[in-house]
Structure 1
Amino acid sequence: MSPQPAPFSVTRRRGLTLVEVMFSIVVMSTMLLAALGSVGAVAKARVTQKESVQGLALARQLLSEIVQTRYKDLVDSTFGIEAGESRATFDDVDDYNGLSEASALYADGTAVAGGTRWSRTVAVSWVSPTDPSTTSATDQGLKRIKVSVTSPGGRVTTLEALRSAENGYEHTPGSQATYTCHVGVSIQIGTNTVVRNVQGVALNNLVP
């Protein structure tokens, strides 16, 4: 009796078809695009938040500077800048009407930290004391100050304030005194002056 060959079995292994491979690529590509979209949205949100904070700080700084000046010039009551005046010598609120800066500057001409390419404009107008949202053709003792700040990316931040002729800044003290009229803080990360947060506020109640 001759020996019989051992039985054997053939296991068939099913491979991936071209259609399945292509489908897998499409699924992976979709997931990758979704992930990249999420990362991009987070990065955009961070930039927007940073611009919002910086724009608000730059608007507050300029607005604080303006409201600390007199309601109107003591010599020439004409609305607007007087002859021969410059930003460094502005002494009343409406001198700032029409001010436009390509980059944020202090009154003495020095650059505001982190304000490069942040443009600022100012509009001052007479308004009605009974309805400050309504402009007036004549001076009724109240002015509206509007400061607009535009980031390098085009984001606009606007702040408004009302300044009356009876504000505390109008009352000159009987003797010479030094007052704290503005409080600010500047926080910088590392040596990069662009990564800086500036906040400040003008004080309403002046204390020597």
Structure 2
Amino acid sequence: MILPAHRGATLVELVITIVIISVAIAGVVGAFALISGRSADPLNQTRAVELAQLYMDEIITKKYDDATPQGGQPRYTGGCNIGPEGSEDRSTYDDVDDYNEIDAEAPRSALGPIDGYSGFTVTVDVQCAGGDAGVDLPSSQAKRIDLTITIPGGGDFVFSAYRANF
């Protein structure tokens, strides 16, 4: 009696199959590593926008200048002063340009540190910018607030707003 021939894979075919599968797996793992490394970016970007909104809301609600009376009337007609008057700190900032002192500090409100923003920094730059706003204003009648939020990993997000003297 003659036995049927056994058919199977040779050692060479098995080695070639293992090499091909290894290369494919390496490519897939590399793609996953790239995707997972950037998965925090959208979260940090959203948190940067939220933080910027918090700061802008706080800054814009302050008076135009320290000499501006409550309610804004009569209108302040002095020059454009930038920076805190005297020995003010964050809890006593009372006008827009006082915030110019914030330079690469950890996020905080007037009441204290803000939890959940580890690794974020905030910088505020206030400038006299009446002519920048696209309207016929003297330089002393508008201030531009540039807010820079730096997220963990070093990305910067810059937000700007104008506060007019009215």
Do these two structures clear the TM 0.5 threshold for a shared fold by scoring above it? yes
> Does residue 150 of structure 1 match 2:150?
yes
Q: Secondary structure at the match of 1:40?
A: helix
Paired residues, number: 154
Normalised by the size of structure 1, how large is the TM-score? 0.65
How far apart are the structure 2 equivalents of 1:70 and 1:113? 27
How far apart are the structure 1 equivalents of 2:2 and 2:38? 65
Larger Rg: 1
Aligned counterpart, 1:186: none
Aligned counterpart, 1:117: 119
Shift of 1:90: 0.9
Uncovered stretches (5+) of structure 1, i.e. residues with no partner: 1-6, 167-208
How far apart are the structure 2 equivalents of 1:92 and 1:55? 24
Shift of 1:24: 1.8
Pairing partner for 2:58 from 46, 65, 84: 65
- Percent identity, aligned pairs only, is 25
Aligned counterpart, 1:40: 33
Q: Secondary structure at the match of 1:157?
A: strand
Normalised by the size of structure 2, how large is the TM-score? 0.79
Kept in 2, the 8 Å contact 1:105–1:115? The answer is no
Which structure is higher in strand share? 1
| Range moving further from structure 2, 61-70 or 92-101 | 92-101
For residues 157-207 of structure 1, the C-alpha deviation after alignment (integer angstroms, 9 at most, x for no partner) is 2211111001xxxxxxxxxxxxxxxxxxxxxxxxxxxxxxxxxxxxxxxxx
Aligned counterpart, 1:29: 22
Which structure is higher in helix share? 2
How far apart are the structure 2 equivalents of 1:125 and 1:26? 63
Map 1:108-187; keep pairs closer than 5 Å. 108=111, 110-129=112-131, 131-132=132-133, 139-166=139-166
> Does residue 74 of structure 1 match 2:67?
yes
Shift of 1:125: 0.8
Pairing partner for 2:10 from 7, 16, 23: 16
> Does residue 100 of structure 1 match 2:103?
yes
User: What letter corresponds to residue 62 of structure 2 in structure 1?
Assistant: T
Q: Secondary structure at the match of 1:121?
A: strand
User: What letter corresponds to residue 70 of structure 1 in structure 2?
Assistant: K
Uncovered stretches (5+) of structure 2, i.e. residues with no partner: 69-77
Aligned residues: CA RMSD:
2.5
Shift of 1:67: 0.8
